[in-house]
């Protein structure tokens, strides 16, 4: 475990810039077993210093068609970041939605956050990808559910990905 402490009196820890992308569209993606989606959301940021940190916050609604687990994976320029250690055949992810409702409309809001140290002043594309734990191709619903019924008890979600440059 690493603890990163940014000094408040030294100018370190100050927010230098914030970029955000928002997705309110109801979207369905189909994923085969052990396949990673392309970015469902992405945001570009160019750090002003190699000592800067980028604080990522991903929030979105995610449902799937069975009682499977949907993995959320944060990435920087296509490289997975903030994922669990490799261990046997276990999936590696930043966070997970575990659906338990056999009616196939469970799951819901999920978030993941991470303080990344890119050590670069080049533009970085941060993204969120999905995978699942099923043994077959599955549909995953973003910002909606499988039925998407026009009822007050059925929700539509809004998803966002925020990147903040923090002075290091």
* Residue 2 forms part of a structural domain: no
* Residue 3 forms part of a structural domain: no
Closest CA to 81 of 23, 163, 153, 152: 163
Q: Which residues of the chain have pLDDT under 70?
A: 1-10, 34, 63-68, 98-109, 153-154
What pTM value is reported for the model?
0.81
Closest CA to 162 of 39, 34, 59: 59
The total of structural domains in the chain comes to 1
Q: What is the pLDDT of residue 48?
A: 96
* Residue 8 forms part of a structural domain: no
Q: What is the pLDDT of residue 10?
A: 63
* Residue 29 forms part of a structural domain: yes
* Residue 7 forms part of a structural domain: no
Range of the domain at 133: 15-166
Residues 28-41 pLDDT 10s? 888 887 677 888 88
* Residue 25 forms part of a structural domain: yes
The CATH number that applies at residue 90 is: 2.60.120.1340
* Residue 135 forms part of a structural domain: yes
Q: What is the pLDDT of residue 98?
A: 62
Spatial separation of the C-alpha atoms in residues 46 and 165, rounded to whole Å: 9
| HSE, side-chain direction, 13 A CA sphere, residue 38 | 2
Q: Cα dihedral angle (136, 142, 146, 150), rounded to 10 degrees? A: -170
Q: What is the pLDDT of residue 104?
A: 47
Two structure tokens written together for 77: 């320029």
């Amino acid at each position: 475990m690493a603890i990163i402490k940014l000094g408040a009196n030294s100018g370190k820890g100050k927010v230098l810039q914030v970029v955000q992308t928002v997705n309110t569209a109801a979207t369905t993606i189909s994923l085969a077993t052990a396949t990673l989606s392309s970015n469902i959301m992405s945001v570009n940021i160019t750090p002003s210093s190699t000592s800067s940190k980028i604080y990522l916050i991903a929030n979105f609604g995610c449902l799937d068609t069975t009682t499977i687990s949907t993995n959320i994976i944060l990435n920087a320029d296509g490289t997975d970041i903030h994922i669990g250690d490799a261990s046997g055949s276990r999936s590696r992810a930043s966070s997970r939605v575990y659906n338990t409702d056999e009616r196939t409309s469970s799951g819901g809001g999920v978030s993941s956050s991470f303080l990344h140290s890119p050590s670069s002043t080049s533009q970085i594309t941060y993204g969120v990808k999905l995978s699942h734990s099923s043994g077959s191709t599955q549909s995953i619903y973003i910002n909606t559910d499988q039925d998407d019924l026009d009822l007050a008890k059925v929700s539509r979600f809004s998803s966002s990905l925020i990147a903040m440059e923090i002075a290091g």
